[in-house]
Amino acid sequence: MNTVNLWIALSSAAKTAVNARLNWNEENNGVYSGPVGDKEARIFRAMADMTIVQNMFRVGGFGGTTWTLYSVYPESSMIAKRAVDWLAANRTNVFKVVGAWHWDGRQIGTDWEVVEGERTGVITGTPTYRIPTAQLLKIMPTIKVYAEDGSHTETEPTELSDINLLLGQSPRVFV
């Protein structure tokens, strides 16, 4: 399996523009002339497929912008990497990669250290996408603690943690 997991933050303005483009009907509305080009539309059309996208985090703000975080599981890591690299380089104000992992939990750009054919548990290399911890904590879901009577309290997360792993997916490494 070559599946990877990407956490992608999309600004509210970009989310609105992408939704408008993906729902555009040229037959009824004429030629699209908005800000989302053909290349972006192809990328987001694949991301918008509900079988691979989970809108699972809270909407939050950092850097003066409101962001929504998506967890995406594209099948091809090379195709995803090219598309995501292009978006990250060309749409920096509206699109951010805030984490990227292989199915085995290590970040994209890293590898397991192997000694005499055995994996040691040590990760080597440099992650391709730096995890912006302070910003990511602002859009991670709140932590709910339930009492026996069904009431609950909510607190802001203070450290990054795994959320919604798919069956067979190893825990994500956040360092």
pTM comes to 0.77
- C-alpha 124/C-alpha 67 separation (Å) is 31
pLDDT digits (tens, 9 = 90+) for 42-71: 777 766 555 555 556 677 788 888 888 888
Q: What's CA 11's distance to the chain center, in Å?
A: 12
List, for the chain, all residue ranges whose pLDDT scores fall below the cut of 50: none
Q: What is the pLDDT of residue 48?
A: 59
Identify the pLDDT of residue 124. Answer: 95
- Name the residue ranges covered by the structural domains of the chain: 4-132
The pLDDT assigned to 35 comes to 86
The per-residue pLDDT for 88 is: 82
Own/partner pairs for 93-96, CB < 8 Å, 24+ apart? 93/11, 93/65, 94/10, 94/11, 94/13, 94/14, 95/8, 95/9, 95/10, 95/11, 95/14, 96/8, 96/9, 96/67, 96/132
- State which amino acid sits at residue 152: H
